[in-house]
Amino acid sequence: MIAYGENIKVFCGNSNPEFAKIVCKELGIALGGSEVRTFADGEVSITLTETVRGCDVFLIQSTCNPVNNNLMELLIMIDACRRASAYRITAVIPYFGYARQDRKARSRDPISAKLVANMITAAGADRVLTMDLHAAQIQGFFDISVDHLLGNPTFVKYYLSKFPEDQYNHDNFVVVSPDVGSVSRARAFAAKVHMGLAIVDKRRQKANVCEVMNVIGDVRDKTCILYDDLVDTAGSLCNAAQAIVEVGGAKEVYACATHGVLSGPAFQRIQSSYIQEMVVLNTIPLPADLPCSKMKQLDVAPIFARAIAHIHGGTSIADLF
């Protein structure tokens, strides 16, 4: 725990207040007082109940479901702090929504990730702190500083503890990328846990629907760890698990993803899939009445707290990687 003076303030919206409380506990400060309300017509209203004049302000808000409400809360909080003469405003966005719309895949498509970056900058943010953007180049969409944390050190620590190195042969394990687009992050993870790498090649027919075509790499009779940056409807992940078991002949399948978006039939799909355990980070809160016994969540709030401490103190965050 690090104790700070009055010149640092942490506030949060409605997206993940428990996460913000853990961050403040790690920092040794109280969560800033604010009132976040929604009027009957859907308009968002923010009131800060304590001064931020001259303060180094950190606003914690994941832009998860309901995405647009949470995004507006963040933008209005930034504007409120700017108009209240905060010294510096850092938008702490554990999960950055709209990140999957990072390029023009078809004619006349928007690049929504760039639009959201522009909105955050225009609202008055001086800095952004986030984790595992869907595409790392989104950092370049911002005209302000971006600190991009990685989730894989947390997963590395978890799996090396779950499967201690002196109790198993690394040749019996393999990290699997559920699609070609996730190969680079899966390769980085595989290198850290000293395991082999395989890839599931799929052809997506339409949004949220995919067809698995082939398994590239040797997974036969091995324990596989599917690794991705996020899991939404879980269609891709569960199809990949089915392919590496039924086509590749894998012994068992575990899965992990930084952001548990978990929309629609995701919980039911994971529960009925070949996946033995699905691990996500708490960048997005899980529902209290979790309808899936295979889910496990790891806490990265202390990592964000350390990053905030470094930013506030003007020191490098390199040790977090």
Domain boundaries, the chain: 8-150+301-320, 152-298
Please tell me whether residue 269 adopts helix, strand or coil conformation: helix
Q: Is the overall model pTM greater than 0.85, yes or no?
A: yes
pLDDT at 280 exceeding the cut of 70: yes
The CA distance from 138 to 101, in Å, is: 10
User: What does pLDDT average to over the chain?
Assistant: 92
Average the pLDDT over each of 59-68, 149-158, 212-221, 233-242 and give the range with the smallest value.
212-221
Looking at the structure, give the CATH architecture of the domain made up of residues 152-298.
3-Layer(aba) Sandwich (3.40)
Question: pLDDT for 281-307, tens place per residue?
Answer: 999 999 988 889 999 999 999 999 999
What distances in angstroms separate CA 191 from CA 175, 188, 194, 206, 241, one per listed residue? 9, 5, 5, 32, 21
The CA distance from 236 to 177, in Å, is: 11
What secondary structure letter does DSSP report for 274?
S
What distances in angstroms separate CA 251 from CA 34, 174, 219, 275, one per listed residue? 51, 11, 8, 11
**Residue 222: burial class (beta carbons within 10 Å; 0-12, 13-18, 19+):** buried
Residue tagged 């992940």 (tokens): 237
Question: pLDDT for 162-177, tens place per residue?
Answer: 987 645 567 889 999 9
CB 295 within 8 A of CB 280: yes
- pLDDT for the residue numbered 85: 97
Q: What confidence category does residue 88 fall into, taking pLDDT thresholds of 50, 70 and 90? A: very high
Q: What confidence category does residue 210 fall into, taking pLDDT thresholds of 50, 70 and 90? A: low
Say yes or no: domain 8-150+301-320 is CATH 3.90.220.20. Answer: no
Residues noted as catalytic: 202
